C-alpha cells in the first residue's frame, strides 16, 4: 500500500534557513525559491544603486576557492560573485587551492603559501575566501588582522576554530538542516535509526561530528568511503542497518559514474534517503539544499559595501538563509511514496 507524505506545516514552521520557503510550498503563496532576510542581514540582496563601473573602477578583489573548478558547491559561489560583481568595474582574480582533490595537509599548506604570494603580488583591495580549507591554509597563517579586508563564506557551522572573525573580517557561516530533513523522512521510515554515507574528507569529518553532537546524540551511524565501489558496498550495508540514510558528499571519490550510480541507487534503495547537497539529489528521495550562490552573492555585496567605505567590523557575520526542496519521483515510486500535491507544486521535481 502506498503511503502519502503528509503536509509539512508542523515540521517546517521551526526551520531556521528555509522556513518561509517550505511553508509557502503548502500555502501556495510564493514560489519555492523566495526567501526572507532577517533583520540582522547586513547587506541587501540587490546591488546598491550606486554600484556602477565608475564607483569601483580600478578596485581589485581576489577570490580564494578552497577547491577546484567543476566542484558544484564552489562553482555556485563563483556564479554568485559574478552575478553581483560583473559590470561594477571590479577586477576579480580567482585562485583555486584544489584541496578537495588533494587532501594531504602538506599540499594544503603549500597551496595556501602560494596563494598568499599571489595575493601580495596582485595587491588587491579585498580578499574573499570560501570554505574551511581556505581559512586553515591561507587566512589563519597569513591574514589574521592584516590590512587587507577578508570576507569568508562556506565555513561550516562555526568559525571559532580559526579565530575568526577578526577586526578585518566578516562573513557568512554555512549551516544545514539535517534534523529537519530526518523529520521529513521519518514519515516513510520503519524506524528512527539514522545513517550518513559520505566520502571521507576533513570537512565531512567536521560535519559528522557536529551532526552527532548537535542533532543526533551520537547515535548517527557514519559510513566513510573513499571510492565509488566502497560507496556501493556501504550503501548496500546501510539498507540493512539503518532506517533513514543521509547522502553526504561524493566529492573526492576516485571516480563517479553519474548515470551508473543513479541506476545503482534506484535498483538498491529500500529505505528513505535525503541530502542537503543539491548535486546529491539524483540519489536521494528528498533534498533540502542550501544555496552556494547565496554565499557568493552575499560576499560580493559585502565586498562592495567595504569598497564603498564600510569597515568589515561593522558588517555582522550571518548564516545562510536560502534553500530549495527537491523531490525525486523515481525513488518515490520505488519506495511507494506519494507526495502531497501542495509539496510538489513548488518543489523542484526530478524524474517526471
User: pLDDT tens across 132-154, in order?
Assistant: 999 999 999 999 988 999 999 99
User: C-alpha angle with apex 4: 10 to 29, nearest 5 degrees?
Assistant: 50
Give the pLDDT score at 72.
Answer: 87
Annotated domain spans of the chain: 3-36+176-289+324-350, 53-174+295-320
Give the pLDDT score at 351.
Answer: 84
Q: What is the pLDDT of residues 191-203, one digit of tens each?
A: 999 999 999 988 8
CATH code of 53-174+295-320, in short, is 3.40.50.2300
Across all residues in the chain, what is the average pLDDT?
85
Give the pLDDT score at 121.
Answer: 97
- For residues 336 and 3, what is the distance between their CA atoms, to the nearest angstrom? 7
Containing 117, the helix (H) or strand (E) segment is helix 105-122
Residue 156 pLDDT class (50, 70, 90 cuts)? confident
65 φ, ψ (degrees, to nearest 5): -95, 125
Asked if residues 304 and 57 have their Cβ atoms less than 8 Å apart, the reply is no
Cell of 314: 561593522
CATH code of 3-36+176-289+324-350, in short, is 3.40.50.2300
- For residues 13 and 20, what is the distance between their CA atoms, to the nearest angstrom? 8
Please list, in sequence order, all residues whose beta carbon lies within 8 angstroms of the beta carbon of residue 266, skipping any fewer than 6 positions away.
330, 331, 334
Q: What is the pLDDT of residues 43-100, one digit of tens each?
A: 433 444 445 566 899 999 999 999 999 988 899 999 999 999 999 999 999 999 999 8
13 has pLDDT over 90: no
Amino acid at each position: 500500500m502506498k503511503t502519502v507524505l503528509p503536509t509539512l506545516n508542523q515540521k517546517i514552521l521551526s526551520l531556521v534557513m528555509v522556513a518561509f520557503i517550505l511553508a509557502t510550498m503548502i500555502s501556495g503563496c510564493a514560489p519555492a525559491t523566495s526567501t526572507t532576510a532577517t533583520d540582522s542581514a547586513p547587506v541587501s540582496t540587490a546591488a546598491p544603486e550606486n554600484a556602477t563601473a565608475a564607483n569601483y573602477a580600478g578596485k581589485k578583489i581576489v577570490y580564494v576557492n578552497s577547491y577546484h573548478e567543476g566542484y558544484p558547491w564552489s562553482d555556485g559561489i563563483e556564479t554568485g560573485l559574478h552575478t553581483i560583481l560583473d559590470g561594477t568595474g571590479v577586477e576579480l582574480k580567482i585562485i583555486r587551492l584544489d584541496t578537495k582533490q588533494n587532501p594531504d595537509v602538506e599540499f594544503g599548506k603549500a597551496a595556501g603559501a602560494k596563494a598568499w604570494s599571489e595575493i601580495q603580488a596582485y595587491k588587491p583591495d579585498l580578499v574573499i575566501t570560501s570554505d574551511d580549507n581556505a581559512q586553515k591554509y591561507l587566512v589563519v597563517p597569513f591574514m589574521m588582522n592584516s590590512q587587507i579586508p577578508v570576507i569568508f563564506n562556506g565555513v561550516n557551522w562555526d568559525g571559532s576554530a580559526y579565530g575568526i572573525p577578526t577586526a578585518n573580517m566578516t562573513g557568512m557561516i554555512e549551516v544545514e538542516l539535517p534534523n529537519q530533513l530526518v523529520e521529513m523522512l521519518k514519515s516513510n521510515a520503519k524506524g528512527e535509526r539514522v545513517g550518513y554515507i559520505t566520502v571521507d574528507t576533513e570537512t565531512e569529518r567536521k560535519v559528522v561530528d557536529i551532526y552527532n553532537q548537535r542533532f543526533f546524540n551520537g547515535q548517527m551511524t557514519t559510513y566513510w568511503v573513499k571510492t565509488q565501489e566502497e560507496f556501493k558496498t556501504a550503501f548496500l550495508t546501510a539498507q540493512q542497518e539503518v532506517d533513514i540514510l543521509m547522502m553526504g558528499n561524493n566529492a573526492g571519490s576516485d571516480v563517479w559514474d553519474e548515470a551508473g550510480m543513479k541506476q545503482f541507487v534506484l535498483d538498491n534503495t529500500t529505505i528513505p534517503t535525503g541530502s542537503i547537497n543539491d548535486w546529491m539529489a539524483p540519489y536521494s528521495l528528498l533534498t533540502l539544499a542550501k544555496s552556494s550562490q547565496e554565499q557568493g552573492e552575499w560576499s560580493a555585496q559585502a565586498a562592495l559595501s567595504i569598497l564603498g567605505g564600510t569597515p568589515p567590523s561593522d558588517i555582522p557575520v550571518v548564516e545562510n538563509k536560502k534553500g530549495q526542496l527537491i523531490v525525486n519521483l523515481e525513488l518515490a515510486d520505488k519506495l511507494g511514496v506519494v507526495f502531497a500535491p501542495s509539496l510538489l507544486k513548488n518543489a523542484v521535481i526530478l524524474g517526471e
